[in-house]
Structures are given as structure tokens and as C-alpha cells.
A = this chain, B = another copy of it.
Amino acid sequence: MQGLKKKTAETGGQRAAEVAYSAIRTGILNSRWKGGSHLREQELASAIGVSRTPVREALRRLNAEGLVTLVPNLGARVNDWKAHDLDEIFGLRALLESYAVELAASRIGEDEIAELKRLCEKMEGLIVEGQRIDHQRMSVYNDRFHGILYEASGNGRLRQLLKQVVEMPLVLRTFARYERRDLMRSMNHHREIVEALQAKDGAWAASVMRSHVRAGRAVFLDAATSS
């Protein structure tokens, strides 16, 4: 339970509940605890350096977001992910994310398309023959790419649902070992989506996005069974 507490300088400006939330959240996403672990309020509270009150608030929020499961009088357990759960989640994600690009196709502007292209270049730049791939950086660019599309959909609640659905299985990203050809295909999808958006062809963009998500599902399924 060491290392959860961040430097006072960072936490100073924020509310304790927010600090607790992000501390626990990053802990879960970095697999500090394994799936099914019981998260004790007092333990978390002293590790983070706040009282139980904001910790409880954080746990409720994480429960609503699907990262932990709360049982009355028994507390919180870290969710673990079976193949069935991933099927549910990726099914929803394919649906929502393709809907988002379909909406985006008729609303997205030149600036955002330019930004998408820049991100494509950056991501492709990370795939160099014979070199190890910086997955961390890749994730950042990829998240930004998809985030721009959520925004461009113009539907705030859709954006919110998507962020939630996408985040759930993110614990497995650590274990997801993208092969080079998976990544190449991913890059091609991105490029094709941008092209479809530029052509204002929502159906095309949506179709590619569905493929994109379902291809990602396969990688995560491997991660789930092997972790």
C-alpha cells in the first residue's frame, strides 16, 4: 500500500474526494490490486492521506463507472474481466463509437480533421522496423484520436457513455500485446476513418469504426485469458 500518496504540491489544489478518486483509479488501471481484491476504506484512506469520507465517495463513483463492484455492508471489490464481459463491452463500444463517427461526419470541421491526420502521423511514426514500440505514447495518441471523434459527434451524453464504456476494460491494456500487424491494421482503419469523414460519408466511417473496434476486441480477449 505504499506509493498511493502523491506529493502535496499536486494534491493541494484539488478536493480530497478527487484526489482519492484518481489515486484509486490509477491504482486499479495499473493493476496494483488483482481482480476480486477487497478494497478496505480505512486502508485506502491512510495510504492516500485523507479520511474515509472522500474515499467512500470515490468508491461509489468507481462503482458507477464499472471499475469496482459495491456490495452493501461488504464494501468494494475490484472488477475482473471474463470473456463474456468483454463481449458485452465491445459490443456496446462498436455500437456507440460507430454512431459517434456517423454523427461526426456531418459536423466535423477542417481543423479537427487536420488534427486527426497529425495524430495518425505521430502514431505511424511510432511503428519503426526493428524497434520496440512505445505503447504508452501510442495509447495517448490513440485516446486523443478517439476523443476528438467523441467531441465531434456533438452529443455530450454519447461522449460520456463512450468514455465510461471504453474505460472499463482498460485494466487489460497493460496485458494487451498488440502484434505489429494488429497495429498496422489499426493505423489503416484510422486513415480510412479520416478519409470517410472528409468525404462526409457517415455510413462509411461508421462501418470502418465497427471493424476497428471488433478487431480491438480480439486483442483484449487474448489479454483477458492470459492475465
Contact = CB atoms under 8 A, between A and B. Distances in A.
Tell me whether chain A's interface is mostly helix, strand or loop, or mixed: helix
Contacts of A66: 157
7 contacts: A15-B72, A61-B64, A88-B157, A91-B158, A92-B157, A95-B95, A95-B96
B95 A99 contact: yes
A74 to B, nearest CB: 13
Q: How large is the interface on A (under 10, 10 to 19, 20 to 34, 35 or more residues)?
A: 20 to 34
This chain: how many copies in the complex? 2
A60 interface: yes
Contacts of A99: 95
A207 B57 CA distance: 41
Interface of A: 15, 56-57, 60-61, 64, 66, 72, 88-89, 91-92, 95-96, 99, 155-158, 161, 165
Contacts of A165: 157
A64 B96 CA distance: 19
Given A57-B60, A66-B157, A91-B158, 14 more contacts: A60-B60, A60-B61, A61-B64, A64-B64, A88-B155, A88-B156, A89-B157, A91-B155, A92-B157, A92-B158, A95-B95, A95-B96, A95-B99, A157-B165
